[in-house]
Amino acid sequence: MKYFQKKNWKWYLLIVFIILFVHIFGGFVRLMEKDFDKEFKFSLDVKLKYLVDRMMEGKHLKPFHTFLYNIESDVNYACETTKKLLFIVKSSPKNYRKRNIIRKTWGSSIHYKEVKTIFLMGTTISKYVNMMLIRENEIMKDLVIGSFIDSYYNLTLKTIMGLKWASNVCSSNVEFFMFVDDDTFVSTNNILKFLKNPYAYPGTEENVKKITNFNADQFCLYSGYIYKKERPIRKIFCKWFISLKDYPYDQWPPFSAGGAYILSRKSLRMMYYASLFTKPIQLEDIYIGLLAYRLGIEPISNNENFKVEAKYDFEEFRSILAAHGIRKPKELWMIWKEQTLADKIN
């Protein structure tokens, strides 16, 4: 027995290492996943579409999940007049320079009369940063601040706050809503062209149902860079990890990259009501995709012109809708100036 143990301890160690390796990278979890196509049933077993339809008709229903955080905002005036589009920018509290550039470029109501821009964020543990946010909002009056800590893993809370605030404050006078990260360049002129007919805009995927009525109260628009048949990440130490308990299926529903996506007024209101009956997960872009899937809202894909982690190219950016990954404020300013000058020449 001693001979057996001495001779084989390296093999035992190797076996333990392999088991641990497979566990860390989600190999065992993969074996226990449910088939998305056959078994999907997320969160509470409720007739979500029925409940949402009743709320859209004006009926008050008791929610299963309530946004429990306070919202501080002086932005209610933003939707006093009718606007085509509201930019809802997810911003970090410390990113004042990025917000300032956006106010002067693609998010400017001076340059683009049909749009308005507000910024979503949480708070920080820094009293100085929180004080600066209060001061910024006193001057600019375009911040919507939640009482939760602003972090990557609270992006879903930030997004739900945006759905709630926009639905309650702006859904009467704004037709379309674009959720966008503050490190994204948006071609506002192209977005406004896109909203006239999303199906006719270059690069739109053709295998979605064509709709000719683009009334914001009838048309459920959900559009961006759409991922399809993506699998949940089960690697334990990855920041996009999702446990089997939180999501037991082998595939995500179609969802837009979180850097930039557009909702019509009807979609926004339906998703907000759906969030009242859907348990949040920490992956905010996938959470929106889950709401859309459960509501039967088919995403419109334009992966050619919604760019993810893009590098600037003048000609390519002439037709794009949004490009995520422009992290330097100076670069954002330069891109906007160059593209705007080209628009004026043409």
Domain boundaries, the chain: 2-32, 37-345
Cα distances (angstroms) measured from residue 153 to each of 238, 272, 282, 333: 12, 20, 6, 29
Q: For residues 335 and 343, give the distance between their C-alpha atoms in angstroms, rounded to a whole number.
A: 12
SS3 label, residue 175: strand
pLDDT band for position 94 (50/70/90)? Answer: very high
Q: For residues 166 and 178, give the distance between their C-alpha atoms in angstroms, rounded to a whole number.
A: 11
* Contact present, 174 and 86 (Cβ < 8 Å): yes
Cα distances (angstroms) measured from residue 103 to each of 88, 100, 231: 12, 5, 37
76 versus 168: the higher-pLDDT residue is 168
pLDDT at residue 74 greater than cutoff 80: no
Cβ neighbours of 295 (radius 10 Å)? 20
Cα distances (angstroms) measured from residue 181 to each of 88, 125, 157, 293: 9, 22, 15, 23
Q: For residues 156 and 285, give the distance between their C-alpha atoms in angstroms, rounded to a whole number.
A: 8
Q: For residues 207 and 232, give the distance between their C-alpha atoms in angstroms, rounded to a whole number.
A: 25
Total-model pTM: 0.90
Report pLDDT for 218: 82
Q: Give the strand pairing for 322-324 and 255-264.
A: unpaired
> Could you say which of 3.90.550, 3.40.50, 2.40.128, 3.30.70 is the CATH number of the domain covering 37-345?
3.90.550
Residues contacting residue 242 through CB under 8 Å, at least 6 positions apart: 232, 233, 234, 281, 282, 283
CA 124 to chain centroid, in Å, comes to 21
Q: For residues 50 and 339, give the distance between their C-alpha atoms in angstroms, rounded to a whole number.
A: 45
Q: What is the pLDDT of residues 229-274, one digit of tens each?
A: 999 988 777 788 888 888 889 899 999 999 999 999 999 999 999 9
Residues contacting residue 122 through CB under 8 Å, at least 6 positions apart: 93, 145, 146, 147, 148, 149, 150, 151, 154, 157, 158
SS3 label, residue 99: helix
Mean pLDDT over each residue of the chain, to the nearest integer: 88
Percent of the chain, pLDDT > 90? 64
Residues contacting residue 81 through CB under 8 Å, at least 6 positions apart: 173
Report pLDDT for 185: 97
CA atoms within 13 A on the CB side of 190: 22
Return the minimum-mean-pLDDT range out of 27-36, 74-83, 172-181, 244-253: 27-36
Which amino acid, one-letter code, is at 286?
Answer: I
pLDDT at residue 1 greater than cutoff 50: no
Asked whether the CA dihedral 13, 18, 24, 26 is positive or negative, the reply is negative
pLDDT at residue 205 greater than cutoff 70: yes
Report pLDDT for 119: 97
